[in-house]
Amino acid sequence: MVTRADIESKAREIEDTVRTTEETVKASVTWLAVGVVLLAAIAFFLGRRKGKAGGAVVEVYRIK
């Protein structure tokens, strides 16, 4: 026969498992977000540097 203590014990075990999984997922998502932000910042700054490297110079002369 299943007692109330058995059910409460199993519920606590499930709750502990859920908490542990939640903490692990939060940490993973945080590191993923940090990685995405760093990658975007690196791409932005590398793109800016390449844009300054060589621009076209157009000279216009007016002939009368």
Q: Does pTM surpass 0.85? A: no
- Provide the pLDDT confidence category of residue 53 given band limits of 50, 70 and 90: low
The predicted model gives 47-62 an average pLDDT of: 72
Identity of the residue numbered 55: G
Note the pLDDT tens digit of each residue in 7-52: 999 999 999 999 999 999 999 999 999 999 999 999 888 877 665 5
Residues 44 and 32: their CA atoms lie apart, in Å, by 18
Structural domain including 17 reads 1-64
Residues 43 and 25: their CA atoms lie apart, in Å, by 27
Residue 60 to residues 16, 23, 63, Cα–Cα distance (Å): 75, 64, 10
Total number of domains in the chain: 1
